[in-house]
Chains A and B, each alone.
Chain A
């Protein structure tokens, strides 16, 4: 019989791991920034420290992991092989890792030169990834909702980067742009067309596979990614034409789609066949509940925009969506992907007859669960800080730094155990 899984087309472990072992450090940076800046971060979404914090999380943590994971899983979930994954990973990782702190610093010290440099680096890094990924993925027939979703999410990534680079260069050069509307669109393209569509496309595969749930029903799975992208295009058109009501209509429809997807995933999770709740299923449960909260707030705000004037509304919404939903989903997936990949590569590299350590020894469940509870404590403090920023902003920052550092430590330990097992 053949060896369990062919690694012929899988990129070397170093390709995704450089992203996975960098991303949590940006959560630590985000926590430290919150400690330094304190309650002012919650005063307005336009504060320099707030813009810096949001991008440390979205680019520094989320995008790092998403691109690292895609370089690894495109051959597995879409049959799409990237031509030279290791040099590509090196280039994209270097650009993201240098570009993110430059962008945060550019916001913090209001420096046109830093903003320009960050925009160029991020555009090069993400553009390089898109140039490699788009031909590889679009060469595959859309035989599954996952492949269709992956294709559309890459277009979403192109959209969020184009808007982000425009905004950064606009700030650096003092261009007259409709900043509030473009910023909302930038966030929409990032969190819906890119992250949301990618999350759905990956969830179709990983939720049944990792949590042993039933599959996602085929028809809504086919339609969700194009529907989300069409609604983003409608929202963009509304901004271009200056029709705020149409923009609100598109936003309301997006909220309903997101609520339906989160509700369906929650139902699938309730039917899972794995009796014991592991760190991944708990992270996903927390993420789904936070997503339901954030999307309900989004839906209410489209019907009744005055509600967003409450000072806690926008920070609470952002915390639930970014820290509550996306970071939880990503951490939950990392806790399956990292032990599985290390185990798989060990199995391939081992001499016949030598035992391969089991997955639980490479990254023990107890270590993951403890880190997860630390992260949930950080999340609770962050949500509390939206309501009581003067009291809780700094404790929330400290706890976020601890939970991010702990995630980093757990992943690093798995990488070390992998290296040690390989040597024996």
Chain B
């Protein structure tokens, strides 16, 4: 795992849409500027990527061997 540890994690792997999106946006609202959060999903959330880009959040994603996508997002 290349991603650094962060206490701010949304494990959305067993959530139905649109809950992962809603939870992620809620967490982004609560963390401080410069802090990072981690979203775990079994797919790449392209609609979320679009919103993150529009709002100027930097993010990177990595596919783990078990099929989990780790998406690290900066406030």
Residues of A within 8 A of B (CB): 1-2, 4-6, 8-9, 75-79, 143-146, 204-205, 208-210, 212, 214-219, 221, 273, 340, 344
Contacts and interface: CB of A to CB of B under 8 A. Distances in A.
A214 B47 contact: no
Given A77-B43, A212-B14, A1 B68 contact: no
Contacts of B54: 6
Contacts, number: 82
Contact of A218 (B26, B44, B50, B66): B66
B13 A215 contact: yes
A363 to B, nearest CB: 16
A144 B51 contact: no
A260 to B, nearest CB: 16
B67 A5 contact: no
Interface in B42-57: 42-44, 46-47, 49-51, 54
Nearest to B46: A79
B51 A208 contact: no
A214 B42 contact: yes
Contacts of B67: 204, 208, 214-218, 221
Contacts of A9: 47, 50
A217 B46 contact: no
B44 A4 contact: no
A76 B22 CA distance: 16
Given A2-B51, A4-B22, A215-B66, A144 B44 contact: yes
B66 A214 contact: yes
Given A77-B43, A208-B42, A6 B50 contact: yes
B44 A143 contact: yes
Nearest to A140: B46
Nearest to A205: B43
A1 B46 contact: no
Given A144-B63, A215-B13, A218-B66, A204 B18 contact: no
Contacts of A146: 43-44
A76 B46 contact: yes
B59 interface: no
Contact of B51 (A6, A145, A214): A6
A75 B25 contact: no
Contacts of B69: 144
B65 interface: yes
Given A143-B61, A218-B64, A6 B42 contact: no
9 contacts: A79-B49, A79-B50, A208-B13, A214-B42, A214-B67, A216-B42, A217-B65, A218-B64, A218-B65
Given A212-B16, A217-B66, A221-B67, 20 more contacts: A1-B26, A4-B18, A4-B22, A5-B18, A6-B50, A6-B54, A9-B47, A77-B43, A77-B44, A78-B46, A79-B44, A79-B50, A144-B69, A209-B43, A210-B16, A214-B67, A215-B42, A216-B42, A218-B65, A340-B17
Nearest to A272: B14
Interface string B1-35: 00000000000011011100110011001000000
B60 to A, nearest CB: 10
B51 A209 contact: no
Given A1-B25, A143-B61, A219-B65, A204 B49 contact: no
A5 B66 contact: no
